[in-house]
Structure 1
């Protein structure tokens, strides 16, 4: 395709194809290197057996362990071939059943993802932040940009369940809390979703929570409701009402695109009904702090005991296991 004379007639398509070629070339190069290392290890192991050299056998064993990690990383890379996997992600976290505990749990999840984002070298931009009544967060929306942001984070969509001794209960009783995570691909200019202005209800209000000097002084926050679908988005992080509206429209466009894509794939789910059912039986992952300590993903049955490490942003193991399981497309 690149060799065709009219290849650059459509610069956007041409650029996308060049990126695709680069990705495929990188995968082939990685595979060739892995295959060569496997052949080298095989030859070295045969020599070790012939010479009955235990030290070389141990060296090969270490080499194979390193190769195993490379193969797993490569396997994850070839799973990230979805249409939207290279795009930036828009992430919304909302408190569910559990009152103040769930709002505190939402803040814990937000911290977990920000730590993961920092470790991956990705970039986070706040879109909306709704503080809790007593503690924590009612809801937060932010964008994540960087290599394969959506492809990696899409597996986090669903309900997350926390079991612990409640710090907000004077009786020290065990509390189960829920929060939902929804991840959408962020659209760029080359993909457009037509939105009829007549289908929108736009409300402005005074911002609340962290946001600088403009907070609570002017009606700069914007809430947009898409009447045909019931999708509601809001933004209050910028001092300018115009800028907040611009960001909210981008979020709305991304959510409508995701809804349309699910229809085309015949996998349409009413995301807003799901939001109303952030409770028992719908969780994708459980984080247990009492009476034992464990994090378990219910889609893959993968579990670890080091809860603190996971809550500190060590999510790659869960993301990789879910991608490799093929449970998320």
Structure 2
């Protein structure tokens, strides 16, 4: 089980601070910005941890007084602490390369006709409402309306700490079974929509391509009469 480790986080923060203090740190603006963002994120987590630790000590001190009238106040503090600690524990789960960053969310209606397109729109509303409740910024980049109702597809940028780490669990096919409002006989229909989640990378992010994934075709045309026209060398 992965747990929140403040000591490891503090060591990581110290390493980032050392990198930020090195000569020529700002020579590479893109790398400096990434390191500064990571440092700020680690600092926020450690500050939250320290605040929770002090609140916990305060609650223990109140409980030690043994006065019955403080029970409700202590219970309220404990409830708040449990929620905050849950967020810290959630943060500890996001260890992937892009987990802490922003995300691109795509929704594509699948089989099911108008019901599938309506289902895609329902999913879009759900994700936008969830992002707002979570405090994430969201931007609708593209939306293709359905023929009768709903959406054929939509693309949303979701920006916020751990946006990709949280949303990546949503990728896959989502199914809806219901009595269709688009069927005059109100029969049960099954509709499918696909959700695609990808990390939203900065423009200057390095992109690594495995050479084994490349195919290079070379076309030649030369000589009188075009004897080499349409000849192909492939690699």
Same fold, TM exceeding 0.5?
yes
> Is 1:123 matched with 2:141?
no
User: 1: distance between equivalents of 2:193 and 2:185?
Assistant: 23
Deviation string, structure 1 residues 208-262 (Cα, Å, up to 9, x no partner): xxxxxxxxxxxxxxxxxxxxxxxxxxxxxxxxxxxxxxxxxxxxxxxxxxxxxxx
Residue 179 of structure 1 and its aligned partner are, at CA, apart by 1.1
Q: Which residue number corresponds to residue 77 of structure 2?
A: 63
Check conservation: 2:136, 2:158, Cα contact below 8 A. Answer: no
What residue in structure 1 maps to residue 64 of structure 2? 46
Tell me, in whole angstroms, the C-alpha distance in 1 between the residues paired with 2:38 and 2:93. 14
Matched, 1:31 2:49: yes
Classify the secondary structure of the residue corresponding to 1:21.
Answer: helix
CA–CA distance in 1 between the matches of 2:191 and 2:126?
Answer: 16
Task: Determine if contact 1:130/1:140 at 8 Å carries over to the other structure.
Answer: yes
Matches within 5 A, 1:133-172: 133-172=147-186
RMSD (CA atoms): 2.6
Q: How does 1:87-106 map to 2 (within 5 A)?
A: 87-106=101-120
Q: Secondary structure at the match of 1:45?
A: helix
Whether the aligned pair in 2 keeps the contact of 1:114 and 1:124 (CA below 8 Å) is: no
2:199 corresponds to 1:190: no
TM-score when scaled to structure 1?
0.53
Contact 1:164 1:176 in 2 (8 A): yes
Q: Quote the offset at 1:57 in angstroms.
A: 2.1
Where in structure 1 are there 5+ consecutive unaligned residues? 200-329
Could you tell me whether the CA contact under 8 Å between 2:104 and 2:158 is conserved in 1?
yes
TM-score normalised by L of structure 2: 0.72
Aligned-residue offset at 1:188:
1.6
Change (3 A) 1:187 1:172: same
Separation in 1 of the partners of 2:71 and 2:208? 63
- Could you tell me how far 1:141 is from its partner in structure 2? 2.1
Conserved 8 A contact 2:91-2:162 = no
Structure number with higher helix proportion: 2
Give the aligned partner of residue 72 of structure 1. Answer: 86
Q: When the two structures are aligned, how many residues end up with a matched partner?
A: 194
Computing the radius of gyration over CA atoms, which structure comes out larger, 1 or 2? 2
